[in-house]
Amino acid sequence: MIGSLVHLFRNLRAGIILAREGALALVDPNALPPAARLGLRLARLIERRQAGDGAARLSAALTRLGPSYVKFGQFLATRPDIVGAAAARDLENLQDRMPPFPRAEAVRTVELALGRPVDELFLEFSEPIAAASIAQVHKAAIRTPEGPLTVAVKVVRPGVREGFARDLQAMRAAARLFERLVPDAKRLKPVEVVEALARSVAVEMDLRLEAAAVSELAENTKDDPDFRVPKPEWDLTARDVLTNTWIEGIRLNDIPRIEAAGFDRVALARTVIQSFLRHAIRDGFFHADMHPGNLFVDPQGRLVAVDFGIMGRLGMKERRFLAEILLGFIRRDYLRVARVHFEAGYVPPHHSVEDFAQAIRAIGEPIHDRRADEISMAKLLTLLFEITALFDMATRIELVMLQKTMVVVEGVARNLDPRLDMWTTSEPVVREWIERHLGPIGRIEEAGSGLATLAGIAADLPDMALRAKRVLNQIENVTAQGVPLHDDSVSAIGRAEARGSRWTTAALWIIALSLVFMVVRGG
């Protein structure tokens, strides 16, 4: 009871801030029942006059509500199926910047996590240089056999887990209430959305998992000459602390410095796009937060990514789907694009492949009437997902994350090269993957994998036959002799039957007495 009141109070406070900042202007009153519509009108009476326009209001409200809600807003930016395309675009600009916590608190966290004084662990340990909702970063130096090495130390905010846990409980309560009050909201699955946020935040708050992501991406890209990532220092990494090599470079949005350093902006833009596509299609593991603040060009001209709290992963089916639809649009083979959707099971089979191909043609043909530098691949995918929704394609979270990341990546690349030809840039990566995996070599490897699976099943056949024989023998015994019951089991069944009989008898007496009562009254 007390917990429910606490959640109610927290959600009431959140509602007041959302109303005050004008965020409720984004709610469509026509989708609400009459009582909720009245409540929405009343809530908007306290709206500030200078609240701003569009989803900027929502961003302002979430920032006021604190780290948990900022993270929630960033999560909703990846779900246009819930908040709408316009709100999702505006929420992409929601900055995860929070006031830093004192260096002394960071030192305590590091010492507690690593079990040694900070002066023994590091030669130096700076004041915070960047702070977000979950953690902040310090510049430090460590001893190595080759001499001092500059590192970045990411430290989780003190109390952040407890704060997120409280806010998530309140969000769960609000989601359940929303489902009860607005029946149509069930299709948006608000409870599932909150649970997905909870899982995402739990992963992001364990910095060992981020270190593992850095390590996996480094292994995948070790042969890529134009891309690199920092190296994690595992001895100085724990759940609340991540240490990796410091990146010296220029942020990709600092165009004047990039030009002053003599780097080729056109080549950098091409590297951004091709690196992202290699990670997504070739490796099935990509950085899902590739905004300009997380991308640098190092002194050797290589693209460097940092901050691996949010990663995306694609299975072989999703990678084939992505590669084939991109190549299909490049070649204007809309029937193939449609068939890929059906083969992947994304569009239900009761729809017509030809009708779906016609809808896809409505997306593809207009882009071929434009100059190559005017075509947006990210916009193409956005339109494609809008069309597929008309054909009952269920939301695929991994594909939505991919599409939202591509929007950001394309923006970064076009900032470097406004005349970037996305198709010419992407085609070599897509074609290489398709030739490798769907060509003769890929077919042979797929057949070999199938044979290995069959060989494994064949090796297990004798054991499976013995187990099947034992099961058949048990079935024959039960058929011939019945099911054996222990005396205690028989007694328990008897007691249960007796209780059931008593309740049945009581129910019959109540019905009989009720009938008598009605007859007497009627008389």
Q: Which positions are catalytic?
A: 289
Q: Using a CB cutoff of 8 Å and minimum separation of 24, what contacts does 92-97 make?
A: 92/404, 92/407, 92/408, 93/59, 94/59, 94/62, 94/63, 94/70, 95/63, 96/70, 96/71, 96/132, 96/133, 97/131, 97/132
Question: Residue 377: phi, psi to the nearest 5?
Answer: -65, -35
Which two tokens mark 357? 């191909």
Please say whether the beta carbons of 58 and 89 come within 8 A. no
What are the C-alpha distances in Å from 446 to residues 165, 345, 430?
A: 45, 20, 19
For residue 154, the SS3 value is strand
Q: Decide: 252 and 268 in contact? Cβ < 8 Å.
A: yes
Residue 189 gets the label, from left (phi > 0), alpha (psi -120 to 50) or beta, of: left
**Would you say 247 and 298 are in contact if contact means Cβ atoms under 8 Å apart?**
yes
Q: For 238, which DSSP code?
A: B
Spatial separation of the C-alpha atoms in residues 258 and 268, rounded to whole Å: 10
Can you give 353-421 as a three-state secondary structure string?
Answer: HHHHHHHHHHHHHHHHCCCHHHCCHHHHHHHHHHHHHHCCCCCCHHHHHHHHHHHHHHHHHHHHCCCCC
User: Which of 303, 313, 298, 294 is closest to 408 using CA atoms?
Assistant: 294
Pairing of strands 303-305, 227-228: parallel
For helices 67-76 and 190-204, angle between their N-to-C axes, nearest 10 degrees: 110
CA dist 463 → 10, 472, 473, 476, 477 (Å): 58, 14, 16, 20, 22
Distances (CA, A) of 293 to 296, 326, 409: 8, 28, 12
| CA atoms lying within 13 Å on the CB side of residue 139 | 9
> Hey, what are 304's tokens?
């460097």
Give residue for tokens 């961003």.
Answer: 59
In angstroms, rounded to a whole number, what is the distance separating the alpha carbons of residues 378 and 115? 46
